[in-house]
Amino acid sequence: MNEEQTVRNPKGLLISLCAVMMMSVMNGTMFNIAVPDIAKTYQLMPSEVSWVMTGYIMVYAVGALTYGKLADFYPYRTLITFGLSIFCIGSLFGFFAQNYAMVLLARVIQALGGAMIPALVFLAPIRYFPNERGKVLGIVSSVMAFASGVGPIAGGFIAGFLDWRYLFLTSALIIVTLPFLRKNLPQEEAKKGYIDYLGAALIAGVISTLLLGITLGISWLFLLSVTCFGLNIWRMKSIDEPFIPAHLFKNIKYRATIITSFLGVVCLFGMMFMLPIMFRDAYGMGTMMIGLVLFPGALSAALMGQKGGRLVDTKGNIFVLYLALTLLASGFLLLSTLVGAHPYVVSATIIVAYMSFPLVQASSADLLANILHKNETGVGMGVFNLLNFVSGALSGALIGKSLDVFDPNQPFNWFGFEGTTAVYSNVFLVFSLIIVLGFLQFRFNYHKKERVYARKKAASL
């Protein structure tokens, strides 16, 4: 029987998937807005408060890939019930937190449960909508973009009128989607299978020690990170079913795509983490005003998300990726130049970079779908999501440390503003250069086989 026929109400399932994804994305963007308030409450430095985001993403990253593997063996209804229940418990724990350590623990618990959501939402279209996979993924991407637009303004109003702790209480409302998901997901039986938990632990070790080393400045943690990485490589080559198959990375086009996506998301997440801090410290804005200033950029991502899939279909995924990278590099260069100007000018400039987010995601995902073999789609997309989440955590840790250490008065950008915004101008300039490097490596590596083939053909004539 076709798996799509096992879904009693496909429309109801799609609505449920979109609802849970929207609330999950809003959870992340709302807390991004509240970072300055949390820092003020507990008298934290930028690198310390960055763990509100990086700690969450770190656990979320490994968890998303783990849930993806578990979905091959356990029913979605079981996984969704477990994940959302844990997420709700973490949210309630955070609402009643009495100190910063409890806030971080609450975010970790949230991540342990919430990591299930991308695994469900991105794999369900493949499993339950095989004949409409592209359409369903496009709808989900639009909802994600819309949520990223609503999240900042919602977070600003909640934290502004009430308190940032109420963001935890708002996140707990995600549990209302559980009955609808259980009703619309088909009843399935558990299957036997093997999951390399040791490999998962080694990957978690690489990520956590690297981020801790950057944040705390402890050199031996970098050595431990390298050790975990080496052991993971050995593990990948020594067993039949490693947590991440080594052969995936032998595909040049796959490598080029995930590297480019990784670099793009590093800069985008870094921008999202840094902007609230910048508007608070350099412009003296409150949380609600920060939300209003960021809303036009986030809304542009929502609107562009609706067109991203259509552009990929009509213009091609490579064209859209090149367009997205060009917009990103230009947007970051403009921000580097204009940071320090009137906040409305900066708000308008943010739109150029923000609107590129769904284009990068849509084009990269479509490229990978065409590159990967059908049997490798789950793990291949899982690695793609893993690296995207890690990039977000890494950027938060690096930028938090940079803001702690550097306080220049003169920006590297000759046309930039002097003063308290100089450090932010420098970071945006570095972002622009990173995007250019990503563009060049993709162009060189993705088309490498075509160039070799063309040379061989020309030599044979």
Do 445 and 400 lie in one domain? The reply is yes
Q: What whole-number distance in Å separates Cα of residue 205 and Cα of residue 436?
A: 30
The answer to whether residue 158 is domain-embedded is yes
The pLDDT of residue 1: 36
Read off the CATH number of the domain in which 265 is found. Answer: 1.20.1250.20
As a whole number, the mean pLDDT across the chain is: 81
The answer to whether residue 305 is domain-embedded is yes
Which residue, chain included where needed, has tokens 């618990």? 109
Do 176 and 107 lie in one domain? The reply is yes
The answer to whether residue 3 is domain-embedded is no
Q: DSSP assignment of 382-421, as one string?
A: HHHHHHHHHHHHHHHHHHHHHHHH---SS-SSTTSPPSTT
Do 322 and 348 lie in one domain? The reply is yes
- Annotate 341-371 with b (16+ C-beta within 10 A) or e (fewer): eebeebbbbbbbbbbbbbbbbbbbbbbbbeb
Do 425 and 332 lie in one domain? The reply is yes
Of 191, 204, 171, the closest CA to residue 89 belongs to 171
The answer to whether residue 344 is domain-embedded is yes
Q: Any residues with CB less than 8 A from the CB of 381 and at least 6 apart, and which?
A: 68, 122, 123, 365, 368, 369, 372
Over the Cα atoms of the chain, what is R_g?
22
CA-to-CA dists, residue 78 to 25, 123, 184, 186, 395, angstroms: 22, 15, 13, 11, 33
Do 54 and 168 lie in one domain? The reply is yes
Residue bearing the bigger pLDDT, 102 or 460: 102
Model confidence at 372, in pLDDT bands (50, 70, 90)?
Answer: confident
Q: What whole-number distance in Å separates Cα of residue 77 and Cα of residue 251?
A: 34
Residue bearing the bigger pLDDT, 258 or 418: 258
Residue bearing the bigger pLDDT, 22 or 400: 22
Domain that holds residue 219: 196-242
Contacts 24+ apart (CB under 8 A), 186-194: 186/6, 186/7, 186/8, 186/128, 187/75, 187/77, 188/6, 188/75, 188/76, 188/77, 189/75, 190/73, 190/74, 190/75, 190/78, 191/72, 191/73, 191/74, 192/73, 193/72, 193/73, 194/241
pLDDT tens readout for residues 138-167: 677 777 767 776 777 788 788 778 888 899
The answer to whether residue 2 is domain-embedded is no
Do 353 and 404 lie in one domain? The reply is yes
Residue bearing the bigger pLDDT, 405 or 352: 352
Structure tokens, 134: 């592209």
Do 285 and 205 lie in one domain? The reply is no
Provide the domain count of the chain: 2
Do 225 and 250 lie in one domain? The reply is no
The answer to whether residue 364 is domain-embedded is yes
CA-to-CA dists, residue 82 to 12, 78, 134, angstroms: 21, 6, 28
CA atoms within 13 A on the CB side of 437: 12
Q: DSSP assignment of 408-461, as one string?
A: -SS-SSTTSPPSTTHHHHHHHHHHHHHHHHHHHHHHHHHTHHHHHHHHHHHHH-
The pLDDT of residue 2: 39
Which range, 34-38, 132-136, 242-246, 340-344, is most confident? 340-344
> Given CA atoms 146, 148, 153, 155 in this order, what sign does their dihedral have?
positive
The pLDDT of residue 4: 42
The answer to whether residue 65 is domain-embedded is yes
Q: DSSP assignment of 225-267, as one string?
A: HHHHHHHHHHHHHHSSS-SS-GGGGG-HHHHHHHHHHHHHHHH
Do 286 and 139 lie in one domain? The reply is yes
Asked if pLDDT for residue 435 goes beyond 90, the answer is yes
Asked if pLDDT for residue 230 goes beyond 90, the answer is yes
Asked if pLDDT for residue 444 goes beyond 80, the answer is yes
Domain boundary among 242, 276, 308: 242
pLDDT tens readout for residues 160-185: 788 888 999 988 999 998 998 888 88
The answer to whether residue 276 is domain-embedded is yes
Model confidence at 437, in pLDDT bands (50, 70, 90)?
Answer: very high
- Give, rounded to a whole angstrom, the gap between the first and last alpha carbons of the chain: 52
Do 119 and 77 lie in one domain? The reply is yes
Do 238 and 275 lie in one domain? The reply is no
Domain boundary among 210, 242, 274: 242
Do 182 and 207 lie in one domain? The reply is no
